[in-house]
Structure 1
Amino acid sequence: MFASIKRRPIFYGWWLAITALFVNALLSTPLYGAAGLWVNALEEEFGWTRTQLTIAFSLGQLEGSIMSPLVGYIIDKIGGKKLVAMGFIITAIGFLCLTQVTPITDSRSEWSDPLLFYAAYMIITLGVSMGGWIPMTVIVNSWFEKRRSLALSLGSVGFSIGTFLLVPFMAIIIKPENLGWRATAVVCAIIFLLIVPAIWKLIVNYPEEIGEMPDGKASSKSISKTQLENDLVVTHDSSFTLSEALMSKAFWILALGHGSSVLLTSTMMIHLILALKAQGLTLEQAATVWGVTMGIGGLAKLVGGFVGDHVSKRVAACAFGALQAVGVAFAGFADTFFLALTFAFVYGLGYGGRAPITMAMRGEYFAGKSFGKIMGISAVPMTFFSMIAPIVAGIFYDRSGSYMTAFILIAVTGFAGSLIFLLAKKPVPPSSVQPRMAD
């Protein structure tokens, strides 16, 4: 009897969600997850200040804000697959350029002294922007409707898993007595180039390309001729255009709320390891705490994906965002390994729970033919927030020798921003409804 039961193959969209996990883990972790390690290594070798080194991250974010609309436009034209492959190649080139970084002036305090570092970092950021979050989100989003939050959370967990597994290891090999930061950059470049053929084989832009439908099956519902003639009908093109999205309140509310959360994330990516080290932990301990934080965040993303599919996304995004902000405030007081692990739990739960919900809200509100462009434009205000906050934290540290005031200020801003999600009601696209034709 059991032999006669035909097993249904796993829907390929789930394989793409897993692919997104690996892409985000491999591409984003060395740049974002390990940002504090590169800053620490360059600070120790060249004597540059935190503010100088943080400028590189902010320039990369500025570049990302300029590139994001273009990336979204290209995705809508040629699909995300080609961009992901190009992103890996450009990121590899950027890490090879990083190995050539040296001071260019006689004074380490000159803002332009780390110019080669800025250039290399911007090349790496260009590659990650092209091949990471935006194209993989658009691809996964196009494969799902009903299980979108869960699928996106599975894909987004890659950064957390990558940081959890790789950053503590990188903290060891990046030290001068081991491989050192230059050789570590070479290893990253080689891995990125080797992974391109596999990525090219696995990624499929749209389910229709292989005879599939979103969620793995066609809808069982059909619209009868009588229904088509009744009052109002939803058209095939009942999705937002870019201009319609920009005219909606929901677009800007989501951008502001998401941006207030991203400023917390960008500050922790750059400064947490450095802050914990300044507060008494070793580099390896600080890297372990950051890895554990992202590990908890990865598990919380799965929780957030489930919650987002079953309760109000607006309320869930607000609650998780507020918890993330509380974690940032606590980071300034974490002067022991135990307190740092407490931070890891609070921040990781808030960050991880919020991330898939905000992505799913944008997909639920604006999915359609213009979603790539909408995603690209929405990254601009988010990037602005993520540019400013790390520089502010760097300036506070360089002037006072402490991150406490900066972390509290940034946490308050993020907490206030999380409340904005409550206002993000789902919009109705102007083109979604057509009046009934006269008989």
Structure 2
Amino acid sequence: MVCDRGVAEDSTSGGGAPSRQGRSLFYGWWIVIAGSALQLLHSALLGQAYGAYVVLLREDFGWSKTMLSAASSLREAENGIMGPVQGWLLDRFGPRAVARAGVVILGVGFMLFSRVNSPPTFFAAFFVMAVGASLAGYLTVTFAAVHWFERRRATAIALTSSGFALGGMAVPITVLVLDLAGWRTTAVLSGLVVLAVGLPLTQVLRHHPHEMGLRPDGDPPRATMREVEDGKPPLVFPPAPDFTLREALHEPSFWWVSLGHASALFTVSAMSVHLVSHLTQSQGYTLGQASVVVFFMTMLFLAGTLSGGVVGDRVSKRGLVVVCMGMHAAGLLFLAHAVNTWMIAAFTLLHGLAWGWRGPQMAALRADYFGRASFGKIMGVSNMVILLGTISGPLIAGYVYDRTGDYRIGFDILAGIALSGSIFFILARKPSPPARTA
């Protein structure tokens, strides 16, 4: 990947249109909007709606919580295993091509899901959806945001992540369609929506700002930032010390951030699968009432995401994440031992805000620590570590429920894991620039 950190070329070369950044919205923000919309589709139709599918699939087929949790874990396993490949594809072909392929695969996957009639067909269809959601999802849109922003990187990542929150707020609509039309018809309609809306959105994505004669954050070309005096050449800025994948893997901070991220996703992935079931079966909520809790939690996630991006660009990202992990742990304890509405409300507040504040910092920390040049590969390999949390979280909660008939012990275990994540992030100090011989 060519890194445009030295003196910029004349912005009129290569068919760019530099003047547009002075008279219209910086194109990077259009990429953020498109990425957010792609995340919204995935979140509303599958990511945060799967908990409602779990209730209906269990009613229709009598499948165990462990098996239904395993499907979510399969999705996350695919994300982790495919991470390095997806990172390479992004670095090689750019986010537009990768996202376009993902949208098509996800749409087809929903069609297959509507025909499920046995565990093998269920897992096969879910795997197809998982591949599509991964290629058109978080890593791809975050990759684009990282390349188009530097000073406002956390804000850009936060805004792309806000689509996931907005999708969660739309889950009650998905639940309504599930109640009225059934899960099979809902799956077909979801596939059609993904194709009709997702494909145009992928056309907005671009790889590098310099492809359009622009610079990150919409800044002017650096060669024009300082006047040439007395015939002297313009000031040349040395390249920033971006890490290669090999160099990043030798840094302890890579592993501490990855383990901390995994600790957070023990909680998030378990809630995406089991929260609705816990509220309906352990707390006596109706499916509609449970969806309202998800709605308010997602509103708080959205508020946290938007404010977390701004805060993350101004304070210590690592310190903010340490606090968030403690909030995740406290929220889970309230949920596990809830005996009244205010304890459910406390969980909703703590988990929603922590999720939102922490999320944008995960990719922003890695970009700040290791740079942009190999970001796709670094995030892809990191996903293999994150896999530990995304697979194990739902399985722990589901297994404990199947063994005890209650989620309490499982949620207590997950709270302890979340608290350990604070320690991992405390240890994740920014590495020194890589030492290279001339």
TM-score (norm: length of structure 1): 0.89
- d(CA) in 1 for partners of 2:44 and 2:269? 13
Are 2:54 and 1:51 aligned? Answer: no
Q: By how many angstroms is 1:221 displaced?
A: 5.8
- For 2:308 and 2:129, how far apart are their aligned partners in 1? 30
Q: Are the aligned partners of 1:327 and 1:347 in contact in 2 as well (CA < 8 Å)?
A: yes
* Alignment match of 2:364 (pick from 347, 360, 365): 360
Q: Is 1:319 matched with 2:336?
A: no
Q: Which residue of 1 aligns with 2:5?
A: none
Matched-pair contact (CA < 8 Å) for 2:44–2:174: no
Q: Which residue, 425, 428, 435 being the options, matches 1:424? A: 428
2:280 to 257, 267, 277: 277
Structure 2 match to 1:204:
206
Query: Are 2:96 and 2:204, in contact at CA under 8 Å, matched by a contact in 1?
Result: no
Query: Any idea what SS the aligned residue of 1:281 has?
Result: coil
* Structure 2 residue 77 is matched with structure 1 residue 62: yes
Name stretches of at least 5 consecutive residues in structure 1 with no aligned partner: 1-5, 104-113, 225-232
Question: How far has the Cα of 1:30 moved from its partner?
Answer: 2.1
* RMSD, aligned CA: 2.1
Q: Tell me the secondary structure at the aligned position of residue 203 of structure 2.
A: helix
Which residues of 2 match residues 427-438 of structure 1 at below 5 A?
A: 427-431=431-435
Q: CA deviation at 1:335?
A: 5.0
- Structure 1, residues 326-365: CA drift from partner, whole Å, max 9, x if none? 1122112335554423321111011111111122101111
From 34, 42, 47, give the equivalent of 2:49: 34
* Equivalent in the alignment of 1:216: 218
| Cα separation, 1, equivalents of 2:193 and 2:63 | 29
Q: Paired residue for 2:161? A: 156
Cα distance in 1 for residues equivalent to 2:226 and 2:146:
23
- Higher deviation after alignment, 87-96 or 321-330: 321-330
CA separation of 1:200 and 1:155: change in aligned 2, threshold 3 A: closer
Which residue type is aligned with residue 236 of structure 1?
P
Match of 1:387 in 2: 391
What is the number of residues matched between the two proteins? 409
| CA deviations over 1:225-258 (Å, ceiling 9, x no partner) | xxxxxxxx98536211110011111110100111
Matching residue of 1:300: 304
Change in Cα spacing, 1:29 to 1:236, as seen in structure 2 (3 Å) is same
Would the aligned equivalents of 2:168 and 2:298 in 1 still touch at CA under 8 Å? yes
Aligned to 1:125: 130
Provide the rounded CA distance (Å) in 2 between the counterparts of 1:212 and 1:362: 24
SS state at 1:236 partner = coil
CA distance in 2, matches of 1:212, 1:326: 45
Residue 314 of structure 1 deviates from its aligned partner by 1.2
Contact 1:276 1:334 in 2 (8 A): no
Unaligned regions of 5+ residues in structure 2, if any?
1-20, 229-235
Equivalent AA in structure 2 for residue 301 of structure 1:
T
Percent identity over the alignment?
36
C-alpha separation in 2, matches of 1:69 and 1:426: 23
Secondary structure at the counterpart of residue 174 of structure 1? helix
Residues 160-216 of structure 1: CA deviation (Å, up to 9, x unaligned): 11111x2112222212xx100000001100001102442133222211111110010
Deviation string, structure 1 residues 103-152 (Cα, Å, up to 9, x no partner): 3xxxxxxxxxx121111111111001111111110101000010111111
TM-score by length of 2: 0.89
Q: Which moved more, 1:360-369 or 1:245-254?
A: 360-369
| Maintained 8 Å contact 2:38/2:198 | no
Give the Cα–Cα distance (whole angstroms) in 2 for the partners of residues 74 and 48 of structure 1.
Answer: 36
Instruction: Quote the residue 1:98 is aligned against.
Output: 113
Instruction: Give 1:375 deviation, angstroms.
Output: 1.0
Q: Cα distance, 1:425 vs. partner?
A: 1.4
Q: 1:374 aligns with which of 372, 378, 394?
A: 378
In structure 2, the residue matched to 1:84 is: 99
SS in 1 for 2:285: coil
